[in-house]
Amino acid sequence: MMEEEISQISEISPSVKVSPGQSFPLGASELENGINFAIFSQHASLVTLCLSVPERGKIQDVDAAMVEIKLDPRINKTGDIWHICVEDLPRSGVLYGYRIDGPQGWQQGHRFDSGIILLDPYAKLVEGRRYFGDTIKKMSKFLGTYDFTALPFDWGTDYKFPDIPEKDLVIYEMNVRAFTADESSGLDPDIRGSYLGVIDKIPHLLELGINAVELLPVFEFDEFEFQRHPNPRDHLINTWGYSTINFFAPMSRYASSGGGPVAASLEFKQMVKALHNAGIEVILDVVYNHTNEADDNHPYTTSFRGVDNKVYYMLEVDNNSQLLNFSGCGNTLNCNHPVVMELILDSLRHWVLEYHVDGFRFDLASVLCRGTNGAPLNAPPLVKAIAKDAVLSRCKIIAEPWDCGGLYLVGRFPNWDRWAEWNGKYRDDIRSFVKGDSGMKGSFATRVAGSSDLYQHNDANGEGGRDGSNDNFSWNCGHEGETSDPNIKSLRTRQMKNFHLALMISQGTPMMLMGDEYAHTRHGNNNSYGHDTAINHFQWEQLEAKKDSHFRFFSEMIKFRMRHPTFGRDKFLGKGDITWHEDNWDNYESRFLAFTLHDANLGDIYLAFNAHDYFVKAAIPSPPHKRQWYRVVDTNLKSPDDFVPDGVPGIKGTYNIAPYASILLEAKP
């Protein structure tokens, strides 16, 4: 059989020699006698390997002609794995994909189309267009590639992981491209918007004081996905990246100088190494809830849909096997199917072992808690496997505990004592109180104290919830959009400082957004994923203009938190840890809250938040023995008086707190 198959292939491409290959590992791997290719497809009837071999010294184009090699299921298939070894292939630069055919029964869940060359789900590197937003290459294909010539990356003899406890983290959510894409970054055009650009700006991160970055998606995605057919969004460029094409390959267009996938892989490691050497952890925002392949009305088939749709996606079996959509993006990855679960685990381990990342934030993580039919699971296998995995044991794992199907699991995400959560209720309640909503004082107090109502008695297995909210709880301070009114501008500045103060004194792990340190505006757009413009791009000139005022306050507040462990306890606050200066809990109209955090070693911290539109004369408690109160923060004052690191002495029995303002006092000898 083998001789007949090889003879048949040789007639198609006389220069190609093949052998049966092996079923493990999936993807492209190097064997003694060639390059092995292995791909899973349970329902395929025909698999064809497509190869494009570069001429010496040239970069191979994704649209170049390809050699096609049909795999014989009698020889090149073990179980549900199709495999073949191609001899004498170059050890780098080869592009590859698959044509896959199979049953055409839509109602059975199949979406095979042999006219499309598919990307290998296990490709470790992906070649597409080389430059972000290159309209000439707008419709380019995406193909797998490999590089077995590279030496192991040199992490350095003194290199070590920062290994910062979660309670001590201050996370900075940022987008790799948007961080330095703007001309105001001052970087060479070839470096702007790249992994290397992040390295150049590490001094800014250190000056700000954060110790972890959470990178918006850096897995390969297609920024032109909205422009492939006429639709209301066909003017947008996907800059956020929540639309994964492949779960193993770093975004190739974040390489400098259009360097492509091999350069992207190297420069990503250089970025991680530099951040680690600066004491900054790297957390990835990962999207395992859906892919780029959209819905059944306008599918964008690049990989999983054509490889084995019935396995990779959740289907509504009773409705013509249409794709279920718990992601809001047209499809939902079938996360708890054994094959898909293993792919996700393999992907996570790859990023930890190959790229040394420190953790993951899982987008719409409630999808990971659904079974293959979409129903919520009490003990989802994937969530448990991630929590128990040995390779992932040193990593932070953070859930965004909701999805677009109403599975709202804030405070109830099945955690196995490992998973942390994005606290959506913290965000909503802090916003509501600070902007002056009635009846929010008790909720505000609960949130800054660590949300014990959600997490102190958390059931490790959780259950499915059916609520959730898309509200923003925002306030324009009296005028919509830009204004020259000094009172409104002053109020907005004060409110931003109030929010930042509340965030930095709260129990738990705080996370701030890139650009908050200079008051970046998106001009009212709260979902700006499709704008590769100043709406998203970090504005370095604006940062410089506010370096001694707004930035200074944000930076000093972060560093103050770092110096005071009382804000980052690993246990919930007990009666001896906090005193609430409050006898007005039941007053629905009360918008004032004051409390003292007790610390016998470093000294007590008094905090008061006034969300009324009038002054409140607050009674200040007596300081501990042999100490006096120093005013560190008053958000109503202008810089530099709004934050005085050493504090201003002389605070006695009362303090007149301005409307929409907050103060922080420190008890010192």
Q: Confidence band (pLDDT; 50, 70, 90) for 584?
A: confident
Residue among 293, 363, 516, 556 flagged as catalytic: 363
How large is the average pLDDT for residues 114-126? 98
Q: What is the pLDDT of residue 283?
A: 98
Pairing of strands 396-399, 27-31: unpaired
Q: How confident is the model at residue 486 (pLDDT cuts 50, 70, 90)?
A: confident
Q: Which residues contact 204 (CB under 8 A, 6 or more apart)?
A: 543
Average pLDDT over residues 483-505: 89
Q: What is the pLDDT of residues 616-646, one digit of tens each?
A: 999 999 999 999 999 999 999 999 999 999 9
DSSP code per residue over 435-478: TT-TT-HHHHHHHHTT-HHHHTT--TT---------------TT
Q: How many percent of the chain have pLDDT more than 70?
A: 94
pLDDT in tens, 431-467: 999 999 999 999 999 999 999 999 986 433 222 332 2
Query: Taking 70 as the threshold, does the pLDDT of residue 472 lie above it?
Result: no
Give the DSSP H or E segment for 613.
none
List beta partners, residue 631: 648, 665
Q: What is the pLDDT of residues 296-314, one digit of tens each?
A: 999 999 999 999 999 999 9
Residue 583's pLDDT is: 82
Mean pLDDT of 61-82: 93
What confidence tier does 3 reach under pLDDT thresholds 50, 70, 90? Answer: very low
Average confidence (pLDDT) over 35-44: 98
Question: Is 281 assigned a catalytic role?
Answer: no
The pLDDT of residue 477 is 58
Q: Could you give the C-alpha distances from 669 to 560, 596, 625, 653, in angstroms and in order?
A: 18, 17, 9, 17
Assess whether pLDDT exceeds 90 at residue 575: no
Evaluate the omega torsion of the peptide bond into residue 624 and state whether it is cis, within 30 degrees of 0. Answer: no
Q: What percent of the chain is predicted at pLDDT more than 90? A: 85
The Cα 564–Cα 561 span in angstroms is 5
pLDDT, the chain, mean: 92
pLDDT for position 57: 66
Q: Is residue 660 pLDDT above 80, yes or no?
A: yes
| pLDDT at 50 (0 to 100) | 98
Task: Answer yes or no: are the C-beta atoms of 75 and 1 closer than 8 Å.
Answer: yes
- The yes-or-no answer on residue 532 being catalytic is no
Q: 400, 403, 517, 556: which one is catalytic?
A: 400
**Tokens read off for 498:** 């109030």
Q: Which two tokens stand for residue 237?
A: 């460029």
pLDDT band at 488 (very low <50, low <70, confident <90, very high): confident
Nearest to 67 by CA among 39, 40, 96: 96
Q: What is the DSSP string of 513-565?
A: ETTGGGT---TT-S--TT--STTTS--HHHHHHTTTTHHHHHHHHHHHHHH-G
For the cut 60, the answer to whether the pLDDT of residue 138 exceeds it is yes
Range 185-193 average pLDDT: 98
Q: Answer yes or no: is pLDDT of 12 > 60.
A: no
In a 10 Å sphere around its CB, with 0-12 CB exposed, 13-18 middle and 19+ buried, how is residue 421 labelled? buried
Q: Mean pLDDT across the stretch 67-81?
A: 97
By the 10 Å C-beta count (0-12 exposed, 13-18 middle, 19+ buried), 619 is classed as exposed
pLDDT band of 582, cuts 50, 70, 90? confident
Closest CA to 507 of 425, 557, 572, 430: 572
pLDDT at 344 (0 to 100): 98
pLDDT in tens, 531-553: 999 999 999 999 999 999 999 99
pLDDT in tens, 418-430: 999 999 999 999 9
User: Span 265-286, mean pLDDT?
Assistant: 98
The answer on pLDDT for 2 being more than 50 is: no
Is residue 370 within 8 Å of residue 326, measured between CB atoms?
Answer: yes
What is the model's pLDDT at position 8?
35
Q: What is the pLDDT of residue 452?
A: 94
